[in-house]
Amino acid sequence: MTNKKVKVATVSLAGCFGCHMSFLDLDERLVDLVEHIQFDRSPLTDIEHCSSDCDIGLIEGGVCNSENVHTLREFRKNCKILVAVGACAINGGLPAMRNHISLEDCLNESYVDGIGVENAQIPSDVELPLLLDKVHPIHEVVKIDYFLPGCPPSADVFWKFLTDLLAGVEPSLPYELVHFD
Amino acid sequence: MQQFIRQLAQENDFQATRLLKILRAIQARYFYIPKAAIEQLALMLNISRTQIQNVIEFYSFFHLEPRGQFDILISNSITDLMVGQAELINYFAEKLGVKIGEVRADGVVSLNNTSCTGMCDQSLAGLVNGYAITHLTKSRIDEIVENVNKQLPLDQWSRDFFKVEDNIIKSGLLLNETPIKGAAIKATFARGLMETLTEVEKSGLRGRGGAGYTTAWKWKYCREENADQRYIICNADEGEPGTFKDRVILNAYADSVFEGMTVAAAIIGATQGFIYLRGEYLHLYEKLEAILVERRAANLLGKNILQNGFDFDIEICLGAGAYICGEESALIESLEGKAGIPRNRPPYPVISGYLNKPTSVNNVETFLAAANIAIHGGEWFAAFGTAKSKGTKIHSISGDCAKPGIYEYPFGVTVQTILDDCGATDVLGVQIGGPSGTFISNDEFQRKIAFEDLATGGSFIVFNNSRNILDIVHNFSHFFAHESCGFCTPCRVGTSLLKKQIDKIVEGHGSAGDIVALEELCQLIKNYSHCGLGQTAANPVLTTLERYPEIYQSMLKKISYEPGFDLDKSLETARRLANRDDAAAHLAQVEE
Amino acid sequence: MNKSIVIDGKNVPFEDGQTIMQAATAAGIYIPHLCHNPDFTPHGSCKLCTVKVNGRNCSACTFPASEGQNITNVTQELNDDREKITQMLFVEGNHFCPSCEKTGNCNLQAVAYHLGMTDNHFPHFFENREVDASHPDVMIDHNRCIFCTLCVRASQQVDGKDVFAISGRGIDKRLVVNSESGLLKDSDLEATDCAAHICPTGAILIKRTGYKVPIGQRIYDHSQIDTVTLANEGASHDE
């Protein structure tokens, strides 16, 4: 292993940050990890954009709006290895359960017809990202190199995956670490 | 309606095996199968309502919702597309005032696409209430629209619409013979049944549907199986796009086909035969029935045929729009009144077929050949063809050529010879054996039609240099996805994935990895599917990818990856609802 | 006199009439499968149990064992393709494990784990499928149906009823219920029926029982499907 630290960027798209929370469950192992890695763009650092030389990008959540597309592209462009983390990134997950309902019905229910809605109107502001018709897994928008299943993947999954990569071996997860739930 | 259905059920002896026939009658009368009819039939035929529901949903010509009084279907076979199907069906829709796939508000007419109707030499073709219409042009469409709007009953339409030509251009060994009315039966009994089987074996006759199983062996195994009843079935479910020779044989040589079935029945020991006629050939039904009546009158069918102590009769059963029923075990399921889902094998139909009795299913052309072999002997037939492929083969030739129609050649004929005869010039390639067969390029025209080189069920579609390979593949991929029975995972899901993947590439959204993904998917469908449909569904892609990789490559963008769905279109609803059209309200398909 | 076949180099005895799957299971060899269950007539539709018999692909659950068969079962090629077939099932339906009561007890999921599947590979269909919660004790979530017909067979062959059927063609296939309304509540199904319990996925569920066993303590949370299957199915056939 070289002295240069591996740059890791992370983001949550259409996700619940549960995967990030699970990552933090590494607890004291985080101390070992930061000996070898350095966080780049991530909710953990508040760095807004990826450096151009990121090594690993960890993506939580699926793609539900235009901003997600832009973010995902930024990651793909700047990270050598892009990883889909968790059920939502891999197959859309719970947010994709809205795919059975038309977007129009979703928005009307939320902003127009729903119980307790006041000042009923569908938000319209150039600052707001627009929603896609359907929530998509991230591999349908950019090329993905690895998938870490789980809702969320346990801290052990992150540990095994990252330590494998740091050790320069092809990451693999033992049976007990592969979960879709 | 109750009365009508009770009578129908009665006419069909309350037999569940006649379900398709009963449903055809209900569909014809009410333009759909009402729910009440399903409930009543379930009781009368003593089957579950779900079996009836499944049959209705499985076959394209049955509907749970009403179609128009005039239900018009336009063939979307590749040969129809080549004469401007897309433009003409849109013209039709516009003139009728109905959307494709829908029923007009007044309930008078409905319009939709349908798979190849077997009229590829007289495209554009279609069906009106199941009856074939040919040579559709804008002016003919105008006339049809007029008839429909006047609600003129079909029997008062000009016969010209329904004219179906035989177009026999080149006759050979079989087509030169006249229809056989008893001579083969006489010869068979005179020679002896086993001796005739030996002649059929000597002739080297192999199944003409394309698979090429030795006919005599099929009959022999069927005969040797211990059983109280055996069946002979003529497979006239000619659904392979580009094939129409069985239609012509049945129109011009039906007697010989029935005679062949009778000879086969005598040899295997069957007393009942069926001819499974594809629904698209409804126009032949009455004519064939009349011939059966004549044959019964002449004691060529029925009891004690020609005083040989042999009883046999033939029943015509119509399909209802399902390509898969050309597969012999799916056909048998369909004959039993069920959805056409291919069975697990073994056991093979010769051991356990119709109603689990030994059954020999043979192609129309096979019976035609067998009847002639019974008269003239095996040597007569085996003198033609190649060492491994004896006799002649009848081809349906269509596409870019001066003289489309029926051509009979001994096996071993080169593709070039056929192209010269049918007046094809500036040829890009030929689809041999239909979509499930092989696409050959113009480097390969010295190849031979034979089981050992280019095996075929008889479909021969010529494409000239103005045609686009990917348009052809696109059409075929959609065909297989539409016709997959859905039984097994690789075919059910795979053919739909393949359709999407081809669409992505054809529409210009493919990138480098997409060809790899395409090939991988093709191999999966080919290697793991349950039956011949799935195992050949990827052939259009595989055979063209092998020959024209550069055409596929040229469709790819020079990027590593592109989404498979239209990103900007996916924002359309949100844009409309938020009333936005600013730059941030759009997405580029690929990153700038 | 014992007849035998060879599976991955190992001699496996069989009796006449046995399928390759039966012979293998009895000998403690796991062949991945979803639509097969030794208690019912084989169906042969999922194609996960495809093995190479003398070089040719065959469905082990329907193909009869016979002398001279040299069979390969566990190879990289076969398992890679089985994984892709499993992925096809995942993208065809809507399988969101985190929100499914069956998670951890689901054979579809367990086969995916066994084959090392971590993603769905193909583009999702996201088909709009219904839920039938009309029955007081049993529900159908069509999003998770893989058309294995185990419920169809169980209802006919064990329960002596005819509650379920598969209807439609191709990708439009769907599970249908034999009742005039088409709803489960109007069918003969009872929660004690075999058909209500046989679903390998979370398509047919018994209500109010989903979380009796917490996630993390379920069948496949710690045991692989090969071990579980051989323990269950091997036992039911060793007489």
Contact A143 B560 (CB under 8 A): yes
Q: Is B516 on the interface with C (CB under 8 A)?
A: no
Query: How close C153 gets to chain A, by Cα (Å)?
Result: 29
Contact C45 B489 (CB under 8 A): yes
pLDDT tens string A14-60: 999 999 999 999 999 999 999 999 999 999 999 999 999 999 999 99
What b/e string do you get for C110-128 counting C-beta neighbours within 10 Å, with b at 16 or more?
bbbbbbebbbbbbbbbbbe
Q: Is B573 on the interface with A (CB under 8 A)?
A: yes
Q: Rounded CA gap, B366 and B390, in Å?
A: 12
Q: Is B194 on the interface with A (CB under 8 A)?
A: no
Q: Peptide bond before A43: cis, by omega within 30 degrees of 0?
A: no
Q: Is C100 on the interface with A (CB under 8 A)?
A: yes
Cβ neighbours of B567 in A, within 8 Å: 69, 132, 141
Q: Measured in whole angstroms, how far is the alpha carbon of residue A70 from the centre of its chain? A: 13
Query: How close C153 gets to chain B, by Cα (Å)?
Result: 14
Task: Determine the residue of chain C that is closest to A173 in CA distance.
Answer: C116
Sketch the domain layout of chain A as residue ranges.
Answer: 6-96+134-177
Q: Is A99 on the interface with C (CB under 8 A)?
A: yes
Contact B51 C170 (CB under 8 A): no
Rama region for B37: left / alpha / beta (φ>0; ψ in -120 to 50; rest): alpha
Contacting residues for B550 by C-beta, under 8 A, at least 6 apart? none
**Residues in chain B, pLDDT under 50:** none
Q: Which residue among A92, A137, A149 sits closest to C118, beta carbon to beta carbon?
A: A149
What is the side-by-side strand order in the sheet with B438-441?
Answer: B168-170, B405-410, B392-399, B459-464, B427-432, B438-441
Count of residues for chain C?
A: 239
* Chain A positions touching chain B (beta carbons under 8 Å): 66, 69, 73, 77, 102-104, 107, 122-124, 126, 128-134, 136, 140-143
Residue from C78, C81, C88 to probe the interface with B (highest B Cβ count within 10 Å): C88
- Residue C204 · residue C148 · CB < 8 Å: no
Contact A73 B573 (CB under 8 A): no
Contact A178 C103 (CB under 8 A): no
The identity of residue B279, as a single letter, is G
Q: Which residue among B57, B494, B495 sits closest to C168, beta carbon to beta carbon?
A: B57
Contact C96 A137 (CB under 8 A): no
Q: Are residues C116 and C48 in the same domain?
A: no
Q: Rounded CA gap, B494 and C92, in Å?
A: 10
- Tell me whether residue C52 is exposed, middle or buried, using C-beta atoms within 10 angstroms of its C-beta: 0 to 12, 13 to 18, 19 or more: middle
Q: Among candidates B314, B298, B316, which has minimal Cα distance to B306?
A: B298
Please work out, in degrees rounded to the nearest 5, the angle formed at the alpha carbon of residue B35 by the alpha carbons of B34 and B38.
95
The token pair that represents A163 in the structure block: 């330590």
Q: Are residues C65 and C87 in the same domain?
A: no
Q: Are residues C134 and C43 in the same domain?
A: no
Contact A94 C97 (CB under 8 A): no
Over residues C61-81, mean pLDDT: 97
Q: Are residues C107 and C41 in the same domain?
A: no
Contact A147 C119 (CB under 8 A): yes
Q: Are residues C71 and C115 in the same domain?
A: no
Check the CA dihedral C133-C139-C144-C146 and report its sign. negative
The token pair that represents B551 in the structure block: 């055409």
pLDDT tens string A104-156: 999 999 999 988 888 899 999 999 999 999 999 999 999 999 999 999 999 99
- Overall domain count for chain C: 2
Contact C85 B485 (CB under 8 A): no
Q: Are residues C145 and C58 in the same domain?
A: no
- Residue C16 · residue C215 · CB < 8 Å: no
Q: Is B561 on the interface with A (CB under 8 A)?
A: yes
Could you tell me the pTM of the whole model? 0.96
Cβ neighbours of C162 in B, within 8 Å: 48, 50
Q: Are residues C105 and C46 in the same domain?
A: no
Q: Are residues C23 and C52 in the same domain?
A: yes
Q: Is C44 on the interface with A (CB under 8 A)?
A: no
- HSE value, Cβ hemisphere, 13 Å, CA-based, for B120: 34
DSSP-derived secondary structure letter, C170: G
The identity of residue A60, as a single letter, is E
Contact B582 A73 (CB under 8 A): no
Cβ neighbours of C40 in B, within 8 Å: none
Cβ neighbours of B530 in C, within 8 Å: 44-45, 47, 59
The identity of residue C204, as a single letter, is I
Q: Among candidates A35, A66, A48, A36, which has minimal Cα distance to A9?
A: A48
The token pair that represents B146 in the structure block: 């007029």
Q: Are residues C100 and C41 in the same domain?
A: no
- Residue B463 · residue B429 · CB < 8 Å: yes
Q: In the predicted model, is pLDDT for residue C239 greater than 70?
A: no
What pLDDT does residue B513 have? Answer: 86
Domain of C55 in residue numbering reads as: 3-75+227-237
Neighbours of chain C (3+ CB pairs under 8 A): A, B
Helix H segments across chain C?
20-26, 76-92, 107-114, 150-157, 219-222, 225-229, 235-237
- Residue B509 · residue B562 · CB < 8 Å: yes
Cβ neighbours of C98 in A, within 8 Å: 87, 93-94, 151, 180-181
- Residue B81 · residue B431 · CB < 8 Å: no
Domains present along chain B, CATH in parentheses: 2-58 (no CATH), 70-165 (3.40.30.10), 169-382 (3.40.50.11540), 392-467 (3.10.20.600), 470-554 (1.20.1440.230)
- Residue B132 · residue B93 · CB < 8 Å: no
CATH number 3.40.50.10860 is the correct assignment for the domain at A6-96+134-177: no
Residue B314, beta-bridge partner list: B273
Instruction: Note which residues in 180-239 of chain C have CB less than 8 A from chain A.
Output: 215, 221-222, 224
Q: Rounded CA gap, C5 and C25, in Å?
A: 13
Mean pLDDT of chain C: 95
Residue from C109, C119, C128 to probe the interface with A (highest A Cβ count within 10 Å): C119
Q: Which residue among C94, C98, C121 sits closest to A87, beta carbon to beta carbon?
A: C98
Contacting residues for A5 by C-beta, under 8 A, at least 6 apart? A36, A37, A38
Query: How close B332 gets to chain C, by Cα (Å)?
Result: 17
Q: Are residues C124 and C215 in the same domain?
A: yes
Query: Helix (H, G, I), strand (E, B), or coil: what is residue B408?
Result: strand
pLDDT tens string C104-157: 999 999 999 999 999 999 999 999 999 999 999 999 999 999 999 999 999 999
Neighbours of chain A (3+ CB pairs under 8 A): B, C
Contact C224 A94 (CB under 8 A): no
Cβ neighbours of A104 in B, within 8 Å: 573, 577
Q: Rounded CA gap, B74 and B427, in Å?
A: 27
DSSP-derived secondary structure letter, C123: P
What pLDDT does residue A4 have? Answer: 85
Q: Rounded CA gap, C23 and C69, in Å?
A: 12
Query: How close B592 gets to chain A, by Cα (Å)?
Result: 10
Q: Rounded CA gap, C91 and A136, in Å?
A: 12
Q: Rounded CA gap, B241 and B77, in Å?
A: 6
Q: Which residue among C97, C113, C118 sits closest to A147, beta carbon to beta carbon?
A: C118
Rama region for B337: left / alpha / beta (φ>0; ψ in -120 to 50; rest): left
Q: Which residue among B565, B577, B580 sits closest to A140, beta carbon to beta carbon?
A: B565
pLDDT tens string B69-127: 999 999 999 999 999 999 999 999 999 999 999 999 999 999 999 999 999 999 999 99
ipTM higher than the 0.95 cut: yes
Q: Rounded CA gap, A45 and A58, in Å?
A: 14
CATH code for position C50: 3.10.20.740
Cβ neighbours of A132 in B, within 8 Å: 567, 570-571, 574
Dihedral angle computed from the Cα positions of residues B390, B392, B398 and B400, in that order, rounded to the nearest 10 degrees = 80
Q: Are residues C116 and C189 in the same domain?
A: yes
What pLDDT does residue C234 have? Answer: 77
Confidence class for position A173, pLDDT limits 50, 70, 90: very high
DSSP-derived secondary structure letter, A86: H
Give me the phi and psi of A78, to 5 degrees please: -105, -10
Q: Are residues C146 and C71 in the same domain?
A: no
Maximum C-alpha span of chain C: 57
Query: How close A6 gets to chain B, by Cα (Å)?
Result: 24
Task: Determine the residue of chain B that is closest to A141 in CA distance.
Answer: B563
Contact A178 C116 (CB under 8 A): yes
Q: Rounded CA gap, B407 and B400, in Å?
A: 15
